[in-house]
Amino acid sequence: MRGQKMSKVNIIDQAERTTELTTRRDFVTWLLGGAIFISALAAVWSVIRFITPPKSAPASPTEAQLVASVDEIPRGAGKQVVFGSKPVWVIQDKKGNYKAFSAICTHLGCIAEWQQDKQIFFCPCHAGVLDENGKVISGPPPRPLPPYNLETKDDRIYITGLKEGERLYGA
Ligand code: FES
């Protein structure tokens, strides 16, 4: 009689333990599932963010943009600025004329640099050389650096846009 009572108690205890274990297992399974789901969601979101281009400034805005004061660019010097979302060189040639050109090489889109000592633009990717008017001297660039319009007002230099009919590399 006593043995039967003990075994009933054992069965009930075991059943409770099994229920408790099942509940705990369900909870852990649910927790793991949730963590995996959130990780997958984060991964998908990262991929979407990576392949979707960010909203950025237009490549060639229509409004004038202040780029420098005249003192900042002495004769022969240049200053690289960003107009819209694109790099642009503003230079003052040895005769005192301010000029602006896209810094993006027309060959494969590398950034050309203004070399003040030689008065040339040099593209380090494939040794493209362009003169102070953006014209190709040597190397593979197929066309000149696209020029921009400039305005000078109250000793300040503004870029007002790409010259008509010009197009940037890749546009
Ligand atoms: S990208 Fe400039 S020379 Fe090739």
Instruction: Note if the pTM is more than 0.75.
Output: no
* Residue-level pLDDT at 4: 62
For the Cβ of 134 lying below 6 angstroms from any atom of ligand 1, the answer is: no
Asked whether the beta carbons of 67 and 92 are under 8 A apart, the reply is no
What the block records as the tokens of 158 is 């503004």
Q: How far is the CA of 50 from the centre of ligand 1 (A)?
A: 27
Distance CA 15, CA 13 (A): 5
Work out which ligand 1 atom sits closest to the CA atom of 127: 3
According to the model, what pLDDT value does residue 3 have?
58
Distance from the alpha carbon of residue 112 to the mean position of ligand 1, in angstroms: 8
**Residue 111: CB within 6 Å of ligand 1?**
no
pLDDT tens digit string along 38-81? Answer: 777 777 776 656 555 455 555 667 789 999 999 999 999 999 99
Q: Which amino acid is at 70?
A: V
